[in-house]
Amino acid sequence: MKQHVGKKKILVVEDEPAISHVCQRTLTSEGFEVDIAVNGEVAQNMIENNQYDYDLCLIDVRTPTMSGEEFYQWLQGKHPGLAAGVILTTGDLMGGDTADFIEQEKKPFLPKPFTPDELKTMVKRVLRRKAR
């Protein structure tokens, strides 16, 4: 895969259209290119079929077909550089498995619902840290 030039590119893995829309609108207005995948399987195909890497992935832990957790584990094995630029999201912290996964992976976490400002702040922080 070749690295793209210009805008930073973000892959949002989110099955809730309202949240996808807010992410896309917020991040595009900040100058990012944004692609949306409704689940981990779609995201996996997008990464495998693109000719460039994403700079960051915003992953909802609980998506249908292939969960965000399964997608993240795939990323770690196949694209560890991209796995370094992951932000996890979920509205479900009641489930023990989700909380355990987030705790274990020690990735930046954005609980839903989040504000556009929280999203922008977190994305910029992760991109700065990844650039070091």
Amino acid at 46: M
CA distance linking residue 43 with residue 36, whole number of Å: 8
CA distance linking residue 125 with residue 65, whole number of Å: 30
* Tokens encoding 127: 């991109």
pLDDT at position 2 over 90: no
pLDDT at position 4 over 90: no
pLDDT at position 48 over 70: yes
Calculate mean pLDDT across residues 71-93.
91
Break the chain into its structural domains and give their ranges.
9-131
Candidates 3.40.50.2300, 3.10.129.10, 2.40.40.20, 3.40.50.1970; CATH matching 9-131: 3.40.50.2300
Q: Do the strands 33-37 and 109-111 form a parallel or antiparallel pair, or are they unpaired?
A: unpaired
Calculate mean pLDDT across residues 40-66.
90
